[in-house]
Amino acid sequence: MKQFLIPNSLKGTAFTIAPTTDTESKLVSSGRRNIYNIMQRILVVEDEIKVANTVKKGLEENGFEVDVAYDGRMGKSLAASNNYDLVILDLNLPHANGYEVCEVIRRKNNAIPIIMLTALGGMDDKMQAFELGADDYLVKPFDFRELMARIRVFLKRAGSEVQENNQYKIVIGDLEIDREKKEVTRGGKKIALTAKEYQLLEFLALHKGKVISKLVIAEKVWDIDFDTGTNVIEVYMNFLRKKIDKDFDNKLLHTKTGMGYYLAEE
């Protein structure tokens, strides 16, 4: 049985929702981490400070990393510059409404789940939100347990799709990673990698487009606590760039200064 914590301001302590499958249990992992054991990140765009902070607290108590934007302009900026696993979005926002924020998110990522959380409950509002790419619509006032259940369903679904796609091959542009044979090709040309280079590339590929910090890479790929005095990760990233990107105009390995690395076709 899974436990989800409800913040005191939303009445209650812990309650349970039974997982329907073994896969779901692995994906949710008490609501805290996905199947690759990286904390999932949620963006909340909400101008009502009390509601925003209450939702943030509830999500953090359930193990999620949460960013909050208190107006539409900030929401668009955060959505454009960061990678999120899910977005909770109000419609009636200052500076830019929720529809505009939704469009920005969809231009960047067509797959990220978007849950509208708003007081606007009219059918026209709902239809416009769905037409712009919203995946779900929850009208205020709401029960936090229902919001958590909906979040859980979307993240489970997204994780299941990733797991299914990762069973055999990962394809990013003209880069192919055969996970059964442990072989990598780009543009049809086989690329020879050491075991650690392959592990690093595969790890980044499994989180395609998501910025991964050196701390997480050290823990998951090297299975060590990160030592800020070592440059081993930078060294291996340079090794990979020489093998994966050097002979190609379209670079796949990217650095986000001060944040980490990611693998994506841009």
What are the domain boundaries of the chain?
A: 2-165, 169-263
Dist. CA 73–CA 208, nearest whole Å: 26
User: 3-state DSSP: the chain helix, strand, coil percent, rounded to 5?
Assistant: 40, 20, 35
Q: Which two tokens stand for residue 49?
A: 């400070």
Minimal CA–CA distance to 133: which of 162, 106, 107, 168? 106
Q: Is domain 2-165 classified as CATH 3.40.50.2300?
A: yes
Q: Which residues, in sequence order, are bridge partners of residue 136? A: 115
Rg (CA), the chain: 20
> pTM above the 0.85 mark?
no
pLDDT in tens, the chain (266 residues): 344 444 544 444 333 223 333 333 333 333 333 434 457 889 999 999 999 999 999 999 888 889 999 999 999 999 888 888 899 999 989 999 988 999 888 887 767 889 999 888 888 888 888 888 888 899 998 899 999 999 988 887 765 455 545 557 888 999 999 988 889 999 999 999 988 899 999 999 988 888 888 888 888 887 666 565 678 889 999 999 999 999 999 999 999 998 899 999 87
For residue 118, give every residue at least 6 positions away whose Cβ sits within 8 Å of its Cβ, in sequence order, or none. 90, 91, 92, 98, 125, 137, 138, 139, 140
Domain 169-263 fold is: Arc Repressor Mutant, subunit A (1.10.10)
